[in-house]
Chain A
């Protein structure tokens, strides 16, 4: 039986960003094609909201000290792993609405794996370099075009069928019990976070032996050694 791996991501999540290449490695190692889905987080609803100015000074915030503690740690944690990989991960200056880029992902899926991969890669890389306004529809169109997708009809999709599908999908995803990114799902079994990749591999290998523990233990073949 061929197993299907679903992966749920959000472009505004630093943890989903740094998990991307380890996830591709699984796709390559197991000769499967990942079924990617957007899971658009409403971060303000569970971590409060905040805005920073260009100097990094907080200008608005509804976060509690504990929420700040968790948020600051999360960025620091993601950044140390990003740096080990030679990736740029600049902290965001506000909480983005990533639903347009998510609808772009759904559109890119219709145009084949190469378009989708190019769209995901470039969107992640540029967003975390602060080069991408993912709330601007024109930017999403440009991203899709640059990724090799036919954008004919995308404008209508973005405000119509695509938006409806995205919003419906978000409810369905939560009702299935998936609430964070990256989430990996095999045969209905969900694994939240890239620390679960040892378990994802174990599952894909037929669950032989004991369930492995969580760990960030992936050695990426294209990793950049630390200086």
Chain B
């Protein structure tokens, strides 16, 4: 199973708990891929400003409703994660944290190391409000998660993947939001699918969660 994660978004953080449960129940090989951006909810992307749009009032009302719902969901997510809503609204560039994930992959990290790194990265970003947008801060996150940093500078300078280009490839492959999961070429957007994925990986025994 390939997991796509965006360090700038809370849903990828919330995915960790059910993912750990899944890994405790079924044997699965995981590949981790960072995403620098997500398509998000495209609902609303057809907004056309201008007085000549007959749907302008509807669109404005709907956009307002979406905003209210999004704010409420942010409050719920933050409550689950033990942070304040304002902390959850932080905007970051996930480039260096994504680079850190590529480093773990380069170093052949184990599952527990990925989990530790991802958890630490999210805590530093949203709970601590720490700098996570520099190579120096990446080293701090790696060290705090217990992962080695020797050779990181060389990796970043000479071997790191082009994350922007990789992001385009990811989007072209049909993965547009994080967290996402690809199991046997089947794409799942959102942690809500993990019960079904677990059912699939466990051999589709019994009634499926739907």
Contact = CB atoms under 8 A, between A and B. Distances in A.
Interface of A: 18, 22, 42, 44-48, 62, 64, 66-67, 69-70, 73, 77, 80-81, 84-85, 171, 174-180, 190, 192-193, 195, 199, 210-211, 213-220, 223, 225-226
A174 B194 CA distance: 31
A18 B42 contact: no
Interface string B13-53: 01001100000000000000000000100111111000000
Given A42-B58, A46-B62, A225 B209 contact: no
Contact of A214 (B62, B65, B79, B192): B192
Nearest to A178: B65
Given A47-B46, A73-B187, A214-B191, A225 B65 contact: no
B69 A179 contact: yes
B61 A175 contact: yes
A67 B176 CA distance: 11
A139 B188 CA distance: 36
21 contacts: A42-B62, A44-B46, A45-B55, A66-B42, A66-B176, A69-B39, A73-B189, A171-B61, A177-B64, A178-B69, A179-B62, A179-B66, A190-B69, A199-B76, A211-B76, A215-B191, A215-B194, A215-B195, A216-B192, A216-B196, A216-B209
Contacts of A190: 69, 72
A46 to B, nearest CB: 4
Interface in B186-209: 186-196, 204, 206-209
A64 B45 contact: yes
A42 B204 CA distance: 37
A223 B210 contact: yes
Given A47-B42, A223-B207, A223-B210, 10 more contacts: A45-B58, A46-B43, A46-B46, A67-B46, A174-B61, A175-B65, A177-B65, A199-B76, A211-B79, A216-B192
Contacts, number: 125
B174 interface: yes
B43 A219 contact: no
Q: Which 4 A-B pairs have the closest CB atoms?
A: A195-B192, A177-B68, A179-B65, A174-B61
A220 B210 contact: yes
A84 B208 contact: yes
Given A46-B42, A177-B65, A211-B76, A195 B190 contact: yes
B46 A226 contact: no
Contacts of A80: 186
Given A45-B58, A171-B61, A67 B193 contact: no
Contacts of B43: 46-47, 179-180
B46 to A, nearest CB: 5
A11 B14 CA distance: 31
A66 B39 contact: yes
Nearest to A174: B61
A225 B208 contact: yes
B174 A84 contact: no
A74 B44 CA distance: 16
Given A45-B62, A46-B45, A70-B176, A225 B206 contact: yes
Given A77-B189, A174-B61, A225-B207, A42 B55 contact: yes
A67 B42 CA distance: 7
